[in-house]
Structure 1
Amino acid sequence: MSNKDKKNNKLFSDFEPISTKKWIEKIETDLKGADFEKKLVWNSPEGINIRPFYRAEDLEKLNHLDLFPNQYPFVRGQKKNGNPWLVRQDIFVENISKANKKALDILMKGVDSLGFVFSDKYQAKVEDIEKLMENIFADSVEVNFMVGPGASHEVISLYENLVKKYNRDPKTIFGSVDFDPFSALLFNGKFCQTEEYAFEHAGQIIQAASFLPNIKILSVNGLKLRNSGANIVEELAFCLSIGTEYISRLSDLGFSIDDIAPRIKFSFGVGSNYFMEIAKLRAARWLWAKLVNSFGPKNTDVAKMHIHSSNTLFNKTIYDAHSNMLRTTTETLSALLGGTDSFTVAPYNSSFEWPNEFSERIARNQQLLLKEEAFIDKIADPAAGSYYVEQLTHDLIEKAWELFLKIEEKDGFIAAVKEGFIQETIEKSAQERRDFAASRKEIYLGTNQYPNFTERIEHTINPYSLKPFKEETKGAIVKPLQQFRVTQDFENLRYTTDMYAKNHKRPKAFMLTIGNLNMRKARAQFACNFFAVAGFDVQDNNGFLTIKEGIAAAEKAQAEIIVLCSSDEEYAQLAKELMEEKPANSIAVIAGYPKAILENLKAIGIKNFVHVKSNLLVELGQYQKELGMI
């Protein structure tokens, strides 16, 4: 072949293309007859079938692939160049002076967006907010106020005073006041006052802030929905529906879509489903842009979705808490790649204690590292073109739109809440996630799988961190939702053991390993992890020649639980010897579930088995009860 021919040839042109059918045939051969769909296709909690591979042909039906960043409907983001975002840190305001001092400090450490969170009981006044903003230049840093609906006007008055006092251009001031009547309805079970007043008040704030075009007024809080157990499709659909409700209600009060849409800010929760979270933000922008455009705005730019994101607390843990840093890092990256406008990293310990200087510094630096060292801010929509992400984006758009239409058929979001549809949908998803955790279909490292055997909590922790967060619901007119962490049930188990062990001997599970080497090692490792989830001491062993020898060692170790670890074929004889030799007050357990001899084992008194289909919460709770711990 001449040099000219070589230049004209495409790379790998000597290799014929392989069809999808041939790839699947090859995979089925490698699976040795196992069902391809059951073995390799994952059905996500959102009802999306995730295939093991995607190809260019999968994208042929997608119509957004030729779009550029900052081009309607903004699936590829709203920035022409690069992927800039604001590094936000929230400050809980209990003392005005201390909050101001902290804000000035973190602004020197890489933060360019502040969030001031006021307690529901704190009635912020203009003079308080002025002191809070002392030496903070509102035209050089984004400032977000979570002050409750009653104080929103106070914030607008503050900005009006600042503009006049310092002769600032109002167009250079960015931020939000987060007026959110929907969270009150969902989590308190009622509006703060009346439904009509909520939207009249929203309209009044928008009018008062007319001189501040870049201040967001209306909040759509998807983070709270995710922390209540909603899956990604539900978060998208419900947020879309809340946004539509704002448009509908305020339109009735005389506001145009061009007045309303630019005032809405969406806050999304980001979980550990890495690629789906990337696709979620892309899908969200597409859906919102299409919806806003259907109202006939004068300028399609008002269809841009303003997105703030933060880590969910739903999957964060008290035990092995430093693993939360790993979780928040991957979650943060997925939101940044998805094109969020700002992000708050939840400190690793925020689910169980007040964040400290160390945890807040790590949280800030996670974003700064991704920006300054990994250069994630340099490329617009880096996920574009990925067969997998593009297909996920499309699937989420379809699924979320389908659920959104169901809500519209019920006459909108508020009507669906009053009917109980929203709550029932989220509660069903939440229970499914609990069940997945209990059966270890979903893994939470250090909590329901691979726990740190030596970790102990010896001090009393805040009891509220171990149960769902319930807001004030007096006078509720609808069933309120509760935020919770899916790991709380496991943490309650383990914390019960830790507190019991302060005044009693900690229960011990002893691995009586015998017979087949490979099986006894594998089952001992499984059983050790199983019992350590509840905080029991576990003792693995190299192996014993006889049951009698193993029982003697178990008695010496003062073990309350003796776990027989061997092969199914050997259990018939070994289990019989175990029941004859073991101390009467000890609990005998079989590692595995040998169906062929199950009835025989039960007949000789074996009633406890640990295996991959065990429900950890139910069975470990039963062991605690049998040992007199609860």
Structure 2
Amino acid sequence: DFNPFKKPLRKGVSFEASQLVNMACELLDAVKDVKGLRVLSVDSDMLSNAGSYIYQELGYALAWGADWMTLLTEAGRSATEVACRIKFNMGVSSNFFMELAKFRAARMMWAQVVAQYKPECECAPKMVAHATTSRFNQTLYDAHVNLLRSQTETMSAALAGVDSITVTPFDTPYKTPDEFSERIARNQQHLLKEESHLDKVIDPAGGSYYVETITVASAKEAWKLFIDVEDKGGFLALCNAGEVQKAVRESAEKRHIDVARRKDILLGTNQYPNVNEMAADKIVNLQGAFSCSCHPEADACDCEAGLPTKRAASDFEALRLATEAASNRPKVFMLTIGNLAMRLARAQFSTNFFGCAGYEIIDNLGFESVEEGVDAALAKGADIVVLCSSDDEYAEYAPAAFKYLNGRAEFVVAGAPACMDDLKAQGINDYVHVRCNVLDTLRDFNNRLLKK
């Protein structure tokens, strides 16, 4: 696991090729009598945990491996010697079939890459791949869901035929894994190997039209990226220039936006949260959870040099921890009225929406009038009153409720009714609906409501 690329990737510190070659040659000499020991690593799991897309991890991993081949063969080492010392440490995320296809495509393309160096041994083009389940999509809240995530990720890797797997313990986001969580992580592999026998069949996905199709599609996209990296001077050159880190940061930002808008679902974090769960007391260490490794106390990742370390759930978790730390926990009251089906659906939607910030939710069966509902909300000490009804009825109910509430609590309409412009003209400015950026909306409410 010799990885001099770690420093430029994480810290943006350049690394000279001659330095790398000298160290690698020294290491190869040291292990020349140890057959099968793979000491030159391609740690593309760093890219996966930083938030890269699957095709990026695959394309950059090929370029990374090709750099080892090029630099060391040019230094006089044989292609067979170098190829047989390279090990790929790759990440695996929850995109089940695409991750399965990634490893299949990786083996196919790596064989083609190594073949260009004309190794003497036929075994040289064989990829040795280790898979590590993702940290990027692990969550602090509802942490046992991490077991489900890592289990499907392990299945992807096993069915793809990797050589070895590390299952990341479920409690990694908030502390150093203990004996219990590490035992559970090991047992997840044992279940798949000893009870499901996933190690007994070579390439069980082979011949599946869907898997074969996405394997080829993944390979095409990754190959384009690989060729682009080679045209620009190779993986090390792009790392030293910060281009790899920049591309991954841009991908990570897009993925964080998708989580904020709930295009990507993190169960228990940005959808269906347990609103009564408190997590602050179980946190031992959140180093790098909400920011880049250069600024552990920052609110956002602003590092312009290295890979980001922020997990997909970090922003939502920071929101809920702020709610826990505040002296008041905001109360959200569902003012349900009118059409039964619509008010129930919108009350459920709004419960999930505001629950992502850890607010106390007060649901109701329905009211005969908006005045009755507002009075009940104020009696409960509500900070936010959410009107839940149908689009047709909002034109009547929303202005009446807003006027009667008269600023005694925040007023929100659940949905995006056709009469929204008319309601905004009357001063009703807050709406929650599927097109909202959930994170930004909740941050705004936190700024209005929380007392330090």
Same fold (TM over 0.5): yes
Query: What CA distance in whole angstroms lies between the structure 2 residues aligned with 1:515 and 1:283?
Result: 55
Please say if 1:581 is aligned against 2:407.
no
Please say if 1:376 is aligned against 2:198.
yes
Per the TM alignment, residue 205 of structure 1 is displaced from its structure 2 partner at its CA by 0.7
Per the TM alignment, residue 458 of structure 1 is displaced from its structure 2 partner at its CA by 4.4
Q: String of CA shifts for 1:241-260, please: whole Å, max 9, x gaps.
A: 01111111111211010110
Contact 2:174/2:282 (<8 A) preserved: no
Amino-acid identity (%): 44
Q: Report the counterpart of residue 254 of structure 2 in structure 1.
A: 432
Query: What CA distance in whole angstroms lies between the structure 2 residues aligned with 1:394 and 1:513?
Result: 51
Q: Report the counterpart of residue 241 of structure 1 in structure 2.
A: 63
Contact 2:412/2:431 (<8 A) preserved: yes
Q: String of CA shifts for 1:392-428, please: whole Å, max 9, x gaps.
A: 1111111111110011110111222233321222112
Query: What CA distance in whole angstroms lies between the structure 1 residues aligned with 2:288 and 2:143?
Result: 13
Per the TM alignment, residue 469 of structure 1 is displaced from its structure 2 partner at its CA by 4.4
Going from structure 1 to structure 2, the CA distance change for 1:449 and 1:621 (only over 3 Å counts) comes to same
Query: What CA distance in whole angstroms lies between the structure 2 residues aligned with 1:465 and 1:552?
Result: 45
Please give the residue correspondences for 1:407-446 in structure 2 after superposition, counting only pairs within 5 Å.
Answer: 407-446=229-268
Query: What CA distance in whole angstroms lies between the structure 2 residues aligned with 1:496 and 1:290?
Result: 51
User: Letter of the aligned partner of 1:627 in structure 2?
Assistant: L
Query: What CA distance in whole angstroms lies between the structure 2 residues aligned with 1:464 and 1:570?
Result: 49
Contact 1:516/1:567 (<8 A) preserved: yes
Query: What CA distance in whole angstroms lies between the structure 1 residues aligned with 2:286 and 2:194?
Result: 39
Q: String of CA shifts for 1:592-623, please: whole Å, max 9, x gaps.
A: 011x3112111221110000010011110000
Query: What CA distance in whole angstroms lies between the structure 2 residues aligned with 1:543 and 1:465?
Result: 45
Q: Report the counterpart of residue 338 of structure 1 in structure 2.
A: 160
Query: What CA distance in whole angstroms lies between the structure 2 residues aligned with 1:225 and 1:328?
Result: 18
**Among residues 493, 496, 500, which one is paired with 2:322 in the alignment?**
496
Q: String of CA shifts for 1:175-212, please: whole Å, max 9, x gaps.
A: xxx100111211122257x4422221101110111101
Going from structure 1 to structure 2, the CA distance change for 1:629 and 1:407 (only over 3 Å counts) comes to farther
User: Letter of the aligned partner of 1:179 in structure 2?
Assistant: F
Query: What CA distance in whole angstroms lies between the structure 2 residues aligned with 1:246 and 1:515?
Result: 68
Secondary structure (helix, strand or coil) at the match of 1:389 reads: helix
Q: Report the counterpart of residue 483 of structure 1 in structure 2.
A: 309
**Among residues 333, 354, 358, which one is paired with 1:531 in the alignment?**
354
Per the TM alignment, residue 579 of structure 1 is displaced from its structure 2 partner at its CA by 1.4
**Among residues 355, 358, 363, which one is paired with 2:180 in the alignment?**
358
Per the TM alignment, residue 512 of structure 1 is displaced from its structure 2 partner at its CA by 0.1
Contact 1:351/1:465 (<8 A) preserved: no
Contact 2:328/2:450 (<8 A) preserved: no
Please say if 1:560 is aligned against 2:394.
no
User: Letter of the aligned partner of 2:245 in structure 1?
Assistant: Q
Per the TM alignment, residue 564 of structure 1 is displaced from its structure 2 partner at its CA by 0.2
Q: Report the counterpart of residue 209 of structure 1 in structure 2.
A: 31
Going from structure 1 to structure 2, the CA distance change for 1:396 and 1:458 (only over 3 Å counts) comes to closer
Please give the residue correspondences for 1:70-81 in structure 2 after superposition, counting only pairs within 5 Å.
Answer: none
User: Letter of the aligned partner of 1:520 in structure 2?
Assistant: R
Query: What CA distance in whole angstroms lies between the structure 1 residues aligned with 2:43 and 2:159?
Result: 21
Q: Report the counterpart of residue 120 of structure 1 in structure 2.
A: none
Contact 2:249/2:308 (<8 A) preserved: no
Contact 2:336/2:344 (<8 A) preserved: yes
Contact 2:101/2:212 (<8 A) preserved: yes
Secondary structure (helix, strand or coil) at the match of 2:84 reads: helix
User: Letter of the aligned partner of 1:488 in structure 2?
Assistant: S
Please say if 1:386 is aligned against 2:208.
yes
Please say if 1:317 is aligned against 2:139.
yes
Q: Report the counterpart of residue 115 of structure 1 in structure 2.
A: none
User: Letter of the aligned partner of 1:486 in structure 2?
Assistant: A
Q: Report the counterpart of residue 509 of structure 1 in structure 2.
A: 332
**Among residues 449, 452, 457, which one is paired with 2:279 in the alignment?**
457
Q: Report the counterpart of residue 298 of structure 2 in structure 1.
A: none
Going from structure 1 to structure 2, the CA distance change for 1:580 and 1:191 (only over 3 Å counts) comes to closer
User: Letter of the aligned partner of 1:552 in structure 2?
Assistant: D
Per the TM alignment, residue 377 of structure 1 is displaced from its structure 2 partner at its CA by 1.2
Contact 2:13/2:240 (<8 A) preserved: no
Secondary structure (helix, strand or coil) at the match of 2:386 reads: strand
Per the TM alignment, residue 629 of structure 1 is displaced from its structure 2 partner at its CA by 4.0
Query: What CA distance in whole angstroms lies between the structure 2 residues aligned with 1:341 and 1:201?
Result: 27
Larger Rg: 1
Secondary structure (helix, strand or coil) at the match of 1:235 reads: helix
Query: What CA distance in whole angstroms lies between the structure 1 residues aligned with 2:411 and 2:103?
Result: 51
Q: Report the counterpart of residue 228 of structure 2 in structure 1.
A: 406
User: Letter of the aligned partner of 2:403 in structure 1?
Assistant: E
Please say if 1:543 is aligned against 2:353.
no
Contact 1:466/1:491 (<8 A) preserved: no
Query: What CA distance in whole angstroms lies between the structure 1 residues aligned with 2:451 and 2:434?
Result: 25
TM-score (structure 2 length as normaliser): 0.95
Query: What CA distance in whole angstroms lies between the structure 2 residues aligned with 1:621 and 1:536?
Result: 12
Q: Report the counterpart of residue 299 of structure 2 in structure 1.
A: none
Going from structure 1 to structure 2, the CA distance change for 1:297 and 1:391 (only over 3 Å counts) comes to same
Q: Report the counterpart of residue 519 of structure 1 in structure 2.
A: 342
User: Letter of the aligned partner of 2:10 in structure 1?
Assistant: F
User: Letter of the aligned partner of 1:482 in structure 2?
Assistant: P
RMSD of aligned alpha carbons = 1.6
Please give the residue correspondences for 1:71-220 in structure 2 after superposition, counting only pairs within 5 Å.
Answer: 178-190=1-13, 194-220=16-42
Which of 1 and 2 has higher RCO (CA within 8 Å, sep 6+)? 2
Query: What CA distance in whole angstroms lies between the structure 1 residues aligned with 2:231 and 2:280?
Result: 53
Going from structure 1 to structure 2, the CA distance change for 1:485 and 1:458 (only over 3 Å counts) comes to closer
Please say if 1:619 is aligned against 2:421.
no
User: Letter of the aligned partner of 1:216 in structure 2?
Assistant: R
Per the TM alignment, residue 468 of structure 1 is displaced from its structure 2 partner at its CA by 2.9
Per the TM alignment, residue 380 of structure 1 is displaced from its structure 2 partner at its CA by 1.0
Contact 1:309/1:335 (<8 A) preserved: yes
Secondary structure (helix, strand or coil) at the match of 1:589 reads: strand
Contact 2:83/2:124 (<8 A) preserved: yes
Instruction: List gaps (5 residues or longer) in structure 1.
Output: 1-177, 473-477
Contact 1:191/1:198 (<8 A) preserved: no
**Among residues 69, 75, 90, which one is paired with 1:268 in the alignment?**
90
Q: Report the counterpart of residue 60 of structure 1 in structure 2.
A: none
Secondary structure (helix, strand or coil) at the match of 1:511 reads: strand
Structure 1 stretch displaced more, 482-491 or 315-324: 482-491
Please give the residue correspondences for 1:20-59 in structure 2 after superposition, counting only pairs within 5 Å.
Answer: none
Query: What CA distance in whole angstroms lies between the structure 2 residues aligned with 1:629 and 1:399?
Result: 49
